[in-house]
Chain A
Amino acid sequence: EVQLLESGGGLVQPGGSLRLSCAASGFTFSNYAMSWVRQAPGKGLEWVSAISGSGGSTFYADSVRGRFTISRDNSKNTLSLQMNSLRAEDTAVYYCAKGYYGSGQDAFHIWGQGTMVTVSS
């Protein structure tokens, strides 16, 4: 069974850092681009970042570019999101998602359960 399991969320002060992880199982991880999508409390979905299967190409939303870094360890089937200089508006549930065909621009057919990030003093 294909599964994604996020971890690493929590409460952090403005300006602080947090690292999210997503453990993948049930598929050949290195063959698929992966993405992060977030959802602020009571709000809609926002695409955050994507990374190619090899890890050689990365993409970011303007709202996080320069502050967030996406990476992956294909030997450990793990996707990561390093979040620095966090702001109150980064408060959200963060989901990792797998594309259907494997490209970074694709329908997301598998989603993790999400991990909550709260940025507050």
Chain B
Amino acid sequence: EIVLTQSPDFQSVTPKEKVTITCRASQSIGSSLHWYQQKPDQSPKLLIKYASQSFSGVPSRFSGSGSGTDFTLTINSLEAEDAATYYCHQSSSLPQSFGQGTKLEIK
């Protein structure tokens, strides 16, 4: 089973700041890594698929990079509406798995 470890678990940031969230896989998953945003009492929303492919309708300030075992979600010029929990997800092998989540608080 592939374990995904995100860091940090929590981050308090100010608007317009650049944010980087990392996701490390316990073994190589190629580029089968996806990122989601979840706000309280809402379903998760896909931001980035296959490590770096932006999903339709997602603001351009969200970007992803990485391959193999190390991946990064970057949010440029953070906005207040970006307050949420972010999850990575691997679909390379079964069972599929998610990272533990990174909660972003806006100061």
Contact = CB atoms under 8 A, between A and B. Distances in A.
Interface of A: 35, 44-47, 50, 59-62, 95, 100, 105-109, 111-114
Contacts of A45: 36, 38, 44, 87, 89, 98, 101
Contact of A47 (B36, B38, B46, B98): B98
Nearest to B56: A109
30 contacts: A44-B99, A44-B100, A44-B101, A45-B38, A45-B44, A45-B87, A45-B101, A47-B89, A47-B95, A47-B96, A50-B96, A60-B95, A95-B44, A105-B32, A105-B91, A105-B92, A107-B49, A107-B50, A107-B55, A107-B89, A107-B91, A108-B36, A108-B44, A109-B46, A109-B49, A109-B55, A111-B43, A111-B44, A113-B43, A114-B43
A113 B45 CA distance: 11
A22 to B, nearest CB: 12
Given A45-B87, A45-B89, A108 B46 contact: yes
Interface residues of B, number: 25
A107 B87 contact: no
Given A95-B43, A100-B49, A105 B89 contact: no
A108 to B, nearest CB: 6
Nearest to A109: B46
A106 B95 contact: no
Given A95-B43, A107-B34, A109-B55, A44 B87 contact: yes
Contacts of B50: 107
A44 B43 contact: no
B66 to A, nearest CB: 15
A60 B1 CA distance: 13
Pick from B50, B55, B91 the residue with the most CB of A within 10 Å: B91
